[in-house]
Chain A
């Protein structure tokens, strides 16, 4: 305990009496933090934009067409699939999901959105934060993601016009906004939800598809009575319903086209930024320790233990790193306030928290060599007595 107090005493006195030098090191850590957090927040934002709807589904399993490789856009299921799945023992509910894209053109700037069909009250339809569910059937009603509202000022009760290319013609449909959901981006676009029958009518489609009024779901979101039975239920569903394959939510997310490659790229960037950070910080602390060799020699010669010298260095590194990370975090938040909403930037995500934890570790990690060096300094050599 005495050693700990001494280490604190030495570390804090040195930091306070050499504020300028330590502030500079903290500033470098702050800049590295800014860079790492920006990459992490952009990665989180990109990931969210791609997976948010699927990740937030109130479901345990996703059913795909067999051999679709768990790719949502490659899957097109039979209309009766949802009913068949609901009859399987252990399934609490199942909701078909229909995916497409469209463009809201009744705005100053057209806004591209994901057009999703879902059944109210079933898995696949997110909970409302405002307004009411759309009616089923061919109601020309739409529930919008809050992100759409933020980008366009559309409100509940407004009418929007969407444009869909059907065959070789552009068709325009007017839909009334009746409700709002939150955090439902899919495929980098905010989403709008319509009833399945409406979806079939208003979605972009080829000439051949125009002859049919039957909506075919891309996937079916399945909620289980016991979410712990995912593996058993996956097998049971495949055995009970023909021509399907079943995946859990993480597998579904990883198979969203481009998701893994994009996240891999972002994570690699983040990893190398952290690695460079570790080396830069390590270099700084090593230079500092080299400058302090005689001082450490005196400390050891007059009876300071290795513990006092080592812990003092560790505490200094932690204080300087924590301050740098706090400043960097603050700067990141400040700059994020000025980013346009079109840039996918999520600063409060898990990835940012993980990045902050890693950043707090890079100081001690980078300073490890210098700490070991400090502990191994021989007072005799440091004081040039030998």
Chain B
């Protein structure tokens, strides 16, 4: 498996009341293609800041981030926008979709952004939405979809253009438990099937049962990595003290 994402000695500092706070403090890790990783930790641990840097939305103070071999820290804003468009898929906690585009148009929009909107793309967007159980919702606007359905559309949008890395920020935050399991399970399946590198920030440890690895952050540092299936399941079932 090739390395899709590599983080080297990453530091992100903020000034707060005259003091320097390291929201991300010398973090390094790699994620391979086809691997689904969870980034967990308490509030303020730096996981959302980390995700923002990985999404090329925030510049690090020092260190390097490589996505598909390209160094983010060497890029100007224009190239970062291009990288976001071509190499990254993104789902957010809420307000995920463009409200005036239908489910299928939202998914196709990523293809439009990449100049790939054609008949084949239209078929592919319908297929991926069907796989997510939304074949009867293709022409519904986001307001006509439930929270879970909206998240599934966002997942389809994040994957349709075959990005190197798929990022998800608390994708289950606004969903009930049953829907949350469904969404993350489907997400994991698609990441594996499409051989993408997936990173999910979540505060809900139960969702970790679907991932291949868990990176635990605290006070900006990467404090522990859960790699074996047993470790991960124990964490997900709440039997690990973390």
Contact = CB atoms under 8 A, between A and B. Distances in A.
A6 B95 contact: no
Contacts of B109: 302
Contacts of A304: 81, 85, 113
Given A2-B115, A17-B100, A303-B86, 16 more contacts: A10-B98, A294-B95, A295-B99, A298-B95, A298-B98, A302-B84, A302-B90, A302-B109, A302-B110, A303-B82, A303-B88, A303-B110, A305-B81, A383-B92, A385-B92, A386-B58
Interface in B92-144: 92, 95-101, 105, 109-110, 112-115, 141
Interface in A44-65: none
A379 interface: yes
Interface residues of A, number: 24
B156 interface: no
Interface in B19-71: 48-49, 51-52, 55, 57-58
B109 to A, nearest CB: 8
B113 A385 contact: no
Contacts of B58: 380, 385-386
Nearest to A16: B100
A266 B98 CA distance: 46
A13 interface: yes
Contacts of A380: 52, 57-58
A18 interface: yes
Given A298-B96, A302-B85, A385 B48 contact: yes
Contact of A303 (B81, B98, B100): B81
B85 A303 contact: yes
Interface of A: 2, 6, 9-10, 13-14, 17-18, 294-295, 297-305, 379-380, 383, 385-386
B221 interface: no
Contacts of B55: 301
Contacts of A299: 98
A303 B99 CA distance: 17
Given A385-B51, A385-B57, A301 B90 contact: yes
Contacts, number: 67
A299 B95 CA distance: 11
A131 B98 CA distance: 69
Contact of B52 (A9, A18, A302, A386): A386
A303 B113 contact: yes
Nearest to A383: B92
18 contacts: A6-B113, A17-B100, A17-B141, A295-B99, A298-B95, A298-B98, A301-B57, A301-B84, A302-B113, A303-B84, A303-B85, A303-B88, A303-B114, A304-B113, A305-B78, A379-B57, A385-B48, A385-B58
Contact of B112 (A6, A17, A298, A385): A6
Nearest to B97: A298
B90 to A, nearest CB: 6
A54 to B, nearest CB: 56
Nearest to A294: B95
Contacts of A13: 100-101, 105
B213 interface: no
Contacts of A385: 48, 51-52, 57-58, 92, 169
A297 B55 CA distance: 13
A304 B113 CA distance: 7
Given A17-B100, A385-B57, A301 B112 contact: no
Sorted from nearest, which 8 A-B pairs have the closest CB atoms? A303-B85, A294-B95, A17-B100, A303-B84, A14-B100, A380-B57, A385-B52, A303-B113
B100 A383 contact: no
Nearest to B23: A386
A317 B183 CA distance: 38
A305 B114 CA distance: 12
Contacts of B85: 302-304
A9 B82 CA distance: 19
Contacts of B112: 6, 9
B86 to A, nearest CB: 7
Contacts of A18: 100
